[in-house]
Amino acid sequence: MLVYEKLTQLLVRQPHLLRSVALVVVDELQMLGDPERGPGLELSLAKLLASQPRPQLLGLSAVLREAQQVAEWLEADLLSQDERPVELYRGVLLGGRFRYKAYNSGEEGEQRLAPTESDDPREVLFANVKHLVEQNEQVLIFLKGKRDTVQCALALAEALQRPPAHAALAALEPLEETSLKTQLRAAFSGGVAFHHADLTSEERAVVETFYRNGELRVIACTTTLAFGVNLPATTVFIEAVKWDTDKRTGAAIETPISWAEYENISGRAGRLGFKDEFGRSILIATTQFQADLLWRSYVMGEQEQFLPAPGQEGLADRVLNLIASKVCLSKEELYAFFPLTYLGFQQRGKMAGITAAIDKAFAALERAQLITVGNDDRLEASTLGEAAARKGIRAATAVRLARFFETAHGRAIPEVELFYFLSQTDEGRKTHLPLSSTEHRGRMYESKIGEYLHERGEEPGEDLKRLLNARMLPTTQETRSAKMALLLMGWAHGEELSQLESRYQCYAGAILTTSDEVSWLVDAAAEVATVMGWNPAERLAELAECTRFGVSAACLPLARAQLPGLGREDLRTLVEAGLDSPTALREADNEVLARYLSFKQIETLRTALQ
C-alpha cells in the first residue's frame, strides 16, 4: 500500500515496476481534482496507461462527478453502485424536527428528536447528543476548528455525565506527555473524546480504538476523521462551514464545506457491519431560511466539477519525471505521452497549446542543467535532475538547493540555517505552523537564532544573514521559517514534546507533522549536497533521520530498530544508561532494564528482540 507521492517516486527509481504488477487499486480517485496531489496521481495513472503490458486498474470513489469521463480516459468499464448496504437518512434539524431524505429509496420523511426551546446551535446539539447517547447510539460531531472540538468534548463530558472510559484512560497514560493529553484525560473521564490533527498519532489511535469498542460514545472531530479512518457511527452532526486560507492575503476565512466533503462526512454514518440498520447525517439550522438553504445545498446538492483541472501547473516537474524515469527518451516521445494524461484527454484535438507548454518547460529544464540532450537527440536527466525526480522535490527546489551548496564552498552550514532554507522552498512553505501576530512582531525567533549562532561561533549564510540584519520587520513567512527552524532543531536533538509545545506555542500534532514533512526535504538536500560535492553531505543524511525520529544522533541505532512500546524519552534514557543498541538491550538483564522501563515494556521488548 502506497500513498500517491511514494508511488510517483518509486516509478522513477524503478521504472519497470509496473511490468511485474498485475493489479493496481486506486482509492479516492476523486483526488485527481486536488490541486496539490492531483497532478502526481494523474502522471502515475498515465504511466500505467503507457505501460506494456498494462496492469489491470481498479479505481474507487464515492464522490466523482466525472466518473464516466475518467473511466473513458482510463479505458475502463464504469461500475456504478447507487445504493448503500445500510440506509442513510440525510437531512436538516430545526426546532426538534429532523427532516430527511433516504439515500436509497429517495423518500422524504420527518423524525422528532430532542425538543428544545433554545435557538442556540450548541444547546440544540448537546440536547440531541444526550438524547441519542441515552438510546445507546454512538455519535460523531464534525466541527470547523480544532479548538472547537476540544471545547465541545470537554463540555459534553460534563453535560452527559457518562461513566469514565477507564480502559481508554489506562491506554493513554504511558504515552509521552503533551498539552492535549491532559484535556483528553478530562474528556475520557466523561466517556467522550476529541480527534484532530494536533493530537499525536498514538493519541488518535487510543481515541479510535476505544470508540470502536464502544467505551467512548461521542467524538468531536474535524474532517481529519472523514478520510481514511473507518469509525462508523449511528449519527453524525455536521457543521456546514470550515476554516480555509485566503490565497491572496493568507488570512484565515470561514467558508462553506463542499458537497463532496459533506458526502464523505455523511458516509461515516450507517456503515456495513455496524450494529444499527440505518444511519443519520444531521445539519442543524436555527431558522427556516437556513434550513431551506442547507437542504438545497447539501441534501439535494451535487458533486462539484474538478477545480482546477489537473495538469495545469508544474509541467516542468512532470517533464523531468518522465525523462528521469526513462519513460520518454526524446521530445517526440514527450509529445506522444501527454495525450495519455487526463489533461490531454480533455483537450483532444487541441494539443498545440500543450506542445508549446512542453517546449517551454523543456527549455527551462535544459537551462537549469537538469536535463541534457545527447548527439542522437536522446534525453537524459542530469545527476541533479535524477536526484530531484527520485526524491520527489520540485525542479525549482533542486536548483535552489544546488546553488545553496555551491555557494557554501565546503562551509559547515549550521543546522538551523539548513532548516530555515528548506522552510523557504515551495515544499517547505506548504508546511503549516501556527504563528501569532505577537510572535511575528516580537522578532523573538530571529533573536534566538542570532544567539544560537553566536554561542557556537557559527557564521550564517546570505539568506539567514539577511534575516538577522534586516531593519524592517520580516515577512510572516520569514518569521514562520525562523520559528520552524528552531523548533526542528529542538525536535531533532530529542527535546521533550511538552517543552517544545510550550516554547513554540503549538501542539504536538503540528510538531510531528512538521518534522515528518521536513525530514524528507532534509533527505533530498543530502542527495543534492552529494551531487554538488559538498563534503559534509553524510551529516545531512543523519540529520534527516534525526528529524524523522525526533532523537539525537546517539539514539539513532535504537530509533532505526523501531522497537514497539518505546517512546523518544525511553530511547534517550536507555542511551544515557549505556544501552544504546538493540544488541545491548538484548544482552541486558531484566533487573537492569527494570530501572528504566515498565514490566509491560520489557515484556514487549523481549518479544521484539527475539
* DSSP codes, 76-91: ---------SSEEEEE
Cell 539525537, residue located: 552
Can you give the pLDDT at residue 375?
83
Is 157 strand, coil or helix?
helix
In angstroms, the CA 512 to CA 53 distance is 41
Report how many helices (DSSP H) and strands (DSSP E) the chain contains, helices first: 30, 14
Strands 23-26 and 192-195: what pairing?
Answer: unpaired
User: Are 479 and 435 contacting, i.e. CB atoms less than 8 angstroms apart?
Assistant: yes
User: Are 105 and 84 contacting, i.e. CB atoms less than 8 angstroms apart?
Assistant: no
Exposed e or buried b per residue across 49-73, where buried means at least 16 C-beta atoms within 10 angstroms of its C-beta: ebbeeeeebebebbbbbbbeebbeb
Can you give the pLDDT at residue 449?
95
Strands (E), 103-191: 108-112, 139-142
State the cell numbers at 125.
446539539
Can you give the pLDDT at residue 260?
85
Contacts of 313 (CB under 8 A, 6+ apart): 35, 39
In angstroms, the CA 60 to CA 507 distance is 34
User: Are 270 and 139 contacting, i.e. CB atoms less than 8 angstroms apart?
Assistant: no
The reply to whether the predicted model has a pTM over 0.95 is no
Nearest to 510 by CA among 287, 180, 269: 180
Domains of the chain: 4-66+308-391 (1.10.10.10), 87-299 (3.40.50.300), 395-550 (1.10.3380.20), 556-609 (1.10.150)
Can you give the pLDDT at residue 307?
55
Strands (E), 155-277: 192-195, 218-221, 235-238, 241-245, 252-256
Can you give the pLDDT at residue 227?
65
Which segments of the chain have a pLDDT < 70? 226-229, 250, 272-276, 304, 306-313, 410
